[in-house]
Chain A
Amino acid sequence: MIRKLLRVTMMLGLLAVVGGLGRTDVLRADQDDRDGKRPPQTLPSGFESTDKLLRDVDRAERAPLHSAWIVESSRFLNVPHRAFQPDVGDPAFVDLPVNVGIIKGPDGKLTLYDSGWKQLAYIFNWNTSCCWYGIRNQLHAIGLNPDDVVRIVLGHGHWDHAGQLSEFPDAVLYIQKEELKQIDFFLNYPVDFNGGHIRAVNTINPLTGAQVGPPQQACARSPVCGYPPQTVQEILGKVLHGKAKIVDGRHEIASGLVIHPAFRGHTYGSQLLQVNTGRGQLVFGSDTYSSWTGIRDWFVANIQQTDTIQQFLAYEKCYVLTSRQNSFNNCISAHEPTSYTAAYPITSNWWNIPGGNCSRAAELVLAPGETTHVPAHPDRTPPSQCVSVVPPHPITP
C-alpha cells in the first residue's frame, strides 16, 4: 500500500515537473506583451506582438485601397558597398537612390513617407551625389498636385530624408518622440573618455583636448550625426504651427494607414508605414529598410544607431504585415541599389521624371479608379546615359 502511494506520489510529482516545464516563460514576440515578454532591450512603446500586427492586417484589409509611388529625391554615387552592407561586397561600389514614398488615399489626398533632401550644398560639395530635384516639382511632373499633400510621415529624421518640410506648410508631420529624445539626450553627452565620438555634432581630440573638424570626427555613426540644426528647426516649425504629431509607438493615421515603431532599426525613433493596397499591405521602411535585398536575404544595412537585432525585428514586422500577399516583395526600401529595375520587382514600372534632372519615379500600385501616371512613352534612359546638373544653390566654390 505504502509502495503504491509512493509510486502515485512520484508520478504526480513527475507530472507536475513536466507541466511546469511546459509553462516555462519563453521570450516570444508572438504573444501580447503581458508580463514583459518582449525581446530584450525593446522599449514598451516600440514593441508589437505578431498577433497585434496580424490584427492590423485584418483591420487594414477592410479599409479603402491606396495608390502608391516612389520618387528619387537624389542619389549617392559610388558608395563603398561594404560601408552600406558589411556582409555584401559585390559589386565593390554602388549607387544608392534616396527614395521618397507617395501614397494617395481614397479622398485623393497625399501622404509623403520621408521628404527627401534640402541641403543642396552637400550635393555640390560632396561631389558624390546627383539627380536632386525638388519634391514639389517631382510631384507635378508625375501628375500629382503637391498642394494635396496633407501628411508627411518621417521614417527617421536624418537630413537626407527629412528635408523640404517647409515646402508643405499645411501638411501635418508625424515623427516619433523617441527620435527627438535621443538627439536631445546625446547632444549633452559627456566627452571625457570618448573624444566626443558619442555626442558628436563635432568632436574633441582625446589627447590634446582640442576640438577637431571633419573628416577626423568620424561623425557618421554617432547618435547626433545626421541631424543638422536646420532639419531640427524645420521640425520645430511644424510643432509651433500646430502641424506636428509627435507619436509614441504604433499610431493609426487613417483607415489602412498605420505607423509602426522600428526603434533602433536605423535610428532610435525610426518608424514604418503600413499602407493597404490592392497588392496587399505595403510597408515603407525608410533607412530601417535601407536595402530590399537585405530584407530578402536577412542582411543588415546602413548601420547608424542600429541595433542589428532591432533591424531584423523590423524586417520581421514587414514579413508579418505582408504575410497574406507578396511577402517581402511589398517591403519598400529607401536606398535599395536595384531600385527602378526589374531586380526589385515592385519598382520595375519606372521612368525618368520629365525634366527631373535624372531622378526617377516608379508606380508601385494603383487603387481602383486611379489611372496610371506612367507616361505613354516613358523615358527609361539608363542612369549611365543621363546627364545630371547641379541645381542652383547659394554656395560658390
Chain B
Amino acid sequence: MSEARVGPRRWMTPKMQILAVIFLSLVGILTFAVSREVTSTSRPVSTQLSPRPLRAALSTAEEAYMGLLWPIHGDVERSAMRMSLGQILYKTGDLSRSELKTRMEQALATYRVAETRILALEPPTSLRSEHEQYLAAVRLFQESAVEAIKMFKDGREEHLLAAYPKSQEGSDKIMRVGGRFWPNEFPPN
C-alpha cells in the first residue's frame, strides 16, 4: 500500500516534471495543429455532387473532326447573333432597313458556305449524329434567313416572326452540340 503511494512520488522528480510539461505541450501543439488542419476554412465545404460519368477520351479522328468544325462553328455563331441583334436593333430604330438587309444576306451567304464546308467533313461514326444535328441547324438558319429576307420584297415584317422559330431551333441545336464538343466555350460569367 505504502509502496503504491511512494511509486508516483519517485517519478515526480523536477526533471520528470519538466519532461512531462514539455511532452504535454507537444501533444497540445500537435492536437491543435491537427484540429486546425481538419477545420481549415481555406477551402469551404461544398455541396456534394452525385457521381457522374466522365467524358470519354476523344479519339484522334474525333479530335480532328471537332477541330475542323470549330472555325465553322465560330462563323455560324457570329452570323446567328448578328442576325438576331440586327432584328432587335432594327425594331428599336438603331439599324436601317437596308443595313438589316445587308446583314441578313451576309448571314445567308455564311450559312451556305458553312453547309458546304460541313458536307465536306468526314465525321467519325461516333460523331455522325452530332454532325447531322449541326448540319440540320445550319439549314434551319438558312431557312430562317430566307424567310426573313422576304420582308424586303413585300415589306411585311411578319416574315421576321415566321422566321424566328427556325433560328431558335438552330440556336438550341448548336448549343447542344457545342456543349458536347467544346464544354468550355462559355465559362462562368
Contact = CB atoms under 8 A, between A and B. Distances in A.
A124 B160 contact: no
Contacts of B183: 121-122, 125-126
A92 interface: yes
A183 B186 contact: no
A211 B71 contact: yes
Residue from A161, A187, A233, A302 having most chain B Cβ neighbours under 10 A? A233
B82 A184 contact: yes
Given A79-B188, A184-B82, A229-B175, A91 B47 contact: no
A219 B187 CA distance: 8
B189 to A, nearest CB: 4
A254 interface: no
B50 to A, nearest CB: 5
Interface string B24-39: 0000000000000000
Interface string B121-157: 0000000000000000000000000000000000000
Given A236-B84, A246-B92, A388-B48, A201 B77 contact: yes
A18 interface: no
B85 A232 contact: yes
Contact of B87 (A96, A228, A239, A246): A239
A383 B188 contact: no
A383 B44 CA distance: 10
B73 interface: yes
Contact of A124 (B41, B48, B52, B161): B52
A353 B182 CA distance: 32
A59 B186 CA distance: 41
B89 A126 contact: no
B176 interface: yes
A143 interface: no
A202 B74 contact: yes
B85 A159 contact: no
B167 interface: yes
A229 B55 CA distance: 25
Contacts of A201: 74, 77-78, 81
Size band of the interface chain B makes with A: 35 or more
Contact of A76 (B86, B92, B188): B188
A386 B47 contact: yes
Residue from B41, B94, B186 having most chain A Cβ neighbours under 10 A? B186
A230 B70 contact: no
B80 A159 contact: no
B46 A95 contact: yes
A215 B81 contact: no
Nearest to A396: B180
B171 A233 contact: yes
Contacts of B168: 230, 233-234, 237
Contact of B88 (A202, A219, A239): A239
B179 A119 contact: yes
A114 interface: no
A126 B184 contact: yes
A376 interface: no
A122 to B, nearest CB: 6
B42 interface: yes
B80 A384 contact: no
A189 to B, nearest CB: 11
Residue from B49, B71, B80, B84 having most chain A Cβ neighbours under 10 A? B84
A207 to B, nearest CB: 16
Interface of B: 41-50, 52-56, 66-67, 70-71, 73-74, 77-78, 80-82, 84-89, 91-92, 94, 160-161, 164, 167-168, 171-172, 174-176, 178-180, 182-189
12 contacts: A79-B188, A121-B183, A127-B49, A159-B189, A180-B85, A183-B85, A188-B82, A202-B70, A214-B182, A230-B171, A230-B172, A246-B92
Interface of A: 75-79, 90-96, 119, 121-122, 124-131, 158-161, 177, 180-181, 183-184, 187-188, 201-202, 210-215, 219-220, 224-230, 232-237, 239-241, 246, 287, 302, 304, 337, 358, 382-390, 394-395, 397
